[in-house]
Amino acid sequence: MVDIVDSNNMALGIVSKQEAHEKGLLHRCVIAMIKNTKGEWLLVKQASDRQDAGQYVAPVGGHVQAGENKDDALKREAAEEVGFIDNFEFTYLGSGIFDRHVIGRHENHLFLMYEIHSDNMPVLNHESESCCYFPEEDLKRLLKEEPNMFGHACHFGLKTFYARFY
């Protein structure tokens, strides 16, 4: 179950995640970029059954459950997707609406964007096939020269919260 929200992140009601996607209802997702102390950015390549299959995306992303605190959702998703249980710091960057139709769903998400600071080694789950650390200059270059390496959600998050990459 997820909270349906308005563009100001005010809860309007509760529905299943499936219903939210079927009807295109705006609901919350936490998204996090991970940066290590070398200044490298961790991205994961999505598995073949995911919405950005074979493309690099933010390593942490998932739905906020109904009534769940956004920071708690971030910690839960970080544990599920990259194995970060504790010993990491994070900063909340803000929110943005990411609305798209993909793999038979209408994903109308209020992205709650975070940056995680950690040197922990990721332990990937079934949603990712691999990961890679990108030095910032390499990431900037690849986003311009090879934009199809990166998923639509990744471009949205980076353009919205890290304009310097473009």
Q: How confident is the model at residue 86 (pLDDT cuts 50, 70, 90)?
A: confident
Q: What is the pLDDT of residue 88?
A: 87
β-strand pairing of 27-35 with 128-135: unpaired
> Where exactly are the structural domains of the chain?
2-165
Q: What is the pLDDT of residue 50?
A: 86
10-19: average pLDDT: 96
- For residues 112 and 98, give the distance between their C-alpha atoms in angstroms, rounded to a whole number: 10
Q: Which fold has domain 2-165?
A: Nucleoside Triphosphate Pyrophosphohydrolase (3.90.79)
Q: What is the pLDDT of residue 55?
A: 96
Strand partners, 13: 4
Name residues whose C-beta falls within 8 Å of residue 97's C-beta, 6 or more positions apart in sequence: 7, 26, 108, 109, 110, 111
Q: Does position 76 have pLDDT exceeding 90, yes or no?
A: yes
pLDDT tens-digit profile of 25-71? 999 999 999 999 999 999 999 998 888 889 999 999 999 999 999 99
Q: Which of 112, 5, 2, 22 is nearest to 58 (CA)?
A: 112
Q: What percent of the chain has pLDDT over 70?
A: 100
Tell me the average pLDDT of the chain. 94
